[in-house]
Structure 1
Amino acid sequence: MVQQLNIALVQSHLLWENPQANREVFSKKISSIQKNVDLIVLPEMFSTGFTMSPENIKVSEGENTVKWMLQQAKMNDVAIIGSIAFKENNRYFNRLFFVYPNGEYKSYDKKHTFTLAGEDKVYRAGNNKLIVDYNGYKICPLICYDLRFPVWARNVEDYDILVYVANWPKPRVTAWDTLLKARAIENMCYCIGVNRIGLDGLGYEYSGHSAVYDVLGNQMVYSDKEEILYAVLDKDHIDSTRNKLKFLQDRDQFNLSQ
């Protein structure tokens, strides 16, 4: 029997530039999650909100949040994905961590920094795509604005799941909905998007719309309120659809220059 993957999407309000308070909120939310879940996905910058003033936060809070993720993963026997504001070598990064239950982790630095908000002036962009192996699935985790750039997400690695963590504002949420579905269809993969909800410290509103789409672009779950969403991903669905339709065999061949 091919392994299924049980996932939980945590669509939550975020407390502005307050890592300790956000960790406490997410600790409670994670403790309420169904026990058969394999993977928990948190929003972009889940410990602070989408701040362009990371200097307002103690540098140690980055490491504190990573330690918290490791503790939560081990205690709940689950993998956790989320991004945080992280300082390393005197530079700030919008860094996603994929934390395994066994205490290991991998990281990805956001490739496309959001110039409209000046993210490019505060956070250093990454150049390396990450593919994670977990429970028989290949997962490609990306961050928010990356969603607008299909070449970076192109499935040249034969990954099974594409994950976007985000702080995507309400006025442009139609683009979020449309592009998540498009990324699933064009890459013949499950596509997961986890957005925040509520107002941030600058008055921007977020309406959620966290969702999961299957290989054919069918919406499996969706929400526009603060809640935890659940979905079951099936490797058979991926393999059988790709074997039947074979669209990925006709994809363009290219090497992405950095």
Structure 2
Amino acid sequence: MQHLKIALIQADLVWQNAKQNRIKFSKKINNITETVDLIVLPEMFTTGFSMQPQKIAEYMVGDTVKWMQQIASEKKTAICGSLIISENKNFYNRFIFVHPSGKIEYYNKRHLFTLAGEHTVYTPGKEKIIIEYKGWKICPLVCYDLRFPVWARNVENYDVLMYVANWPKPRISAWDTLLKARSIENMCYTIGVNRVGIDTNNLEYNGHTAAYNCLGEQVAKTQENTEDIVIVSLEKNHISEIRTKLNFLSDKDIFEIT
């Protein structure tokens, strides 16, 4: 598939209320008039960035995952975002990708945000995954992972690097800069989907959801400080042309992450 059309949904989140957030996102998804291949929601899109997983964690057979499968089936599109998941007596900030067929793939956030104490209540992921979808290779990561380029390093020849986040306004300049940097250094499309609004902890989020091409050029962005949906069409030819012309990935250093 030469083109991949993706809907990026930037929204305010109802604090720790999965049902209300599912209702909110259902309405937004139903208002998308274009046919898209993938819908991307923010980090912890059913709860906000909560450090109380004991109260609100869901399961892989829970209501929100079933809701994602229903959306994927009805809309004939993939859908993804991160959820608080309980599994084997551990809590995970889990990026879940649901294919139109209902097949589920997931990635557990590796870099937990110590400034908020995320590392004290959640278990870090250990594996980086590559999702293959419609001929595209997608690398899913979550929020704080953005600050660690070694983990995102393109050794798998992926096409799209995708971040979902609750990234606050005071550090939004870093978000903008690092998304652009990741696209340049990995010679891939990079997408970042952030939230807006003010959460219960009085943290403010102003969005800056965006997509960048292989040269670090911004090809799509949402309106700041508002709920918004932007649709971006990625082109395979752009990747192959840039990597053929500028063969920088072949000059990367070889090392292993331990």
TM over 0.5: yes
| Structure 1 position 18 matched with structure 2 position 17 | yes
Which letter does structure 2 place at the counterpart of 1:216? Answer: L
CA distance in 1, matches of 2:51, 2:256: 33
Is this contact kept in 2: 1:19–1:61, CA < 8 A? no
Q: What displacement does 1:34 show?
A: 2.9
3-state SS in 2 of match to 1:217: coil
Listed one character per residue, the Cα deviations across residues 90-115 of structure 1 (whole Å, up to 9, x for unaligned) are 11100110100001010100000000
Q: CA deviation at 1:59?
A: 4.3
**Distance in structure 1 (CA, Å) of the matches to 2:57 and 2:211:** 34
Q: Which amino acid aligns with 1:78?
A: T
State the partner residue of 1:160: 159
Q: What's 1:76 paired with?
A: 75
Q: What letter matches 2:123 in structure 1?
A: R
AA in 2 matched with 1:247 = F
**What is aligned with 1:244?**
245
Gaps spanning 5+ residues in structure 2: where?
A: none
- C-alpha contact (below 8 Å) 1:62/1:87 kept by paired residues: no
Query: In the alignment, is the contact (CA less than 8 A) between 2:59 and 2:87 conserved in 1?
Result: no
Write the deviation string for residues 40-72 of structure 1: whole angstroms up to 9, x where unpaired. 110000000000012222645972111111111
1:117-155, Cα deviation, whole Å (9 max, x unpaired): 000001000000010000111000000000000000000
Secondary structure of the corresponding residue to residue 29 of structure 2: helix
Distance of 1:121 and 1:62 partners within structure 2: 25
Q: Which amino acid aligns with 1:54?
A: P
Q: Give the CA RMSD over aligned residues.
A: 1.2
**2:72 corresponds to 1:56:** no
Q: Compute the TM-score of the two structures, normalised by the length of structure 1.
A: 0.97
Q: What CA distance in whole angstroms lies between the structure 1 residues aligned with 2:58 and 2:158?
A: 34
Q: Tell me which amino acid in the other structure corresponds to 1:252.
A: D
1:121 aligns with 2:120: yes
- Contact 1:162/1:192 (<8 A) preserved: yes
CA deviation after TM superposition for structure 1 residue 3, in Å? 1.6
**Which residue does 1:174 correspond to in 2?**
173
Structure 1 residues 18 and 168: alpha-carbon distance in aligned structure 2, compared to 1, 3 A threshold: same
Once residues 35 and 60 of structure 2 are traced to their aligned partners in structure 1, the CA distance between those partners, rounded to angstroms, is 30
Q: Confirm or deny that 1:28 pairs with 2:13.
A: no
Q: 1:146 to 1:43 in 2, by over 3 A?
A: same
Q: 1:110 to 1:221 in 2, by over 3 A?
A: same
Work out whether 1:254 is the aligned partner of 2:255.
Answer: yes
Contact 2:57 2:86 in 1 (8 A): no
Asked if structure 1 preserves the Cα contact closer than 8 Å seen for 2:143 and 2:166, the reply is yes
Structure 1 consecutive aligned stretches of length 4 or more whose deviation exceeds 4 Å: 58-62
* AA aligned opposite 2:74: M
Instruction: Find the counterpart in structure 1 of residue 200 from structure 2.
Output: 201
Output the amino acid matched with 2:116.
A
205 and 167 in structure 1: CA distance in 2 versus 1, 3 angstrom threshold: same
Label 1:230 to 1:92 Cα distance change in 2 as closer, same or farther (>3 A).
same
Q: Distance in 1 between matches of 2:190 and 2:33?
A: 21
Q: Tell me the distance in 2 between the aligned counterparts of 1:56 and 1:17.
A: 9
Aligned-partner Cα distance in 2 for 1:54–1:15: 15
| Aligned pairs for 1:218-233 within 5 A | 218-223=217-222, 224=224, 225-233=226-234
Q: Equivalent pairs: percent with the same residue?
A: 56
Deviation string, structure 1 residues 233-253 (Cα, Å, up to 9, x no partner):
000000011001101111111
Stretches of structure 1 that go unaligned for 5 or more consecutive residues are none
CA shift, 1:17, in A, is 0.2
Instruction: Name the SS of the counterpart of 1:56 in structure 2.
Output: helix
Aligned to 2:67, the other structure's residue is in SS state: helix
Kindly state the Cα deviation for residue 192 of structure 1 after the two structures are TM-superposed: 0.1
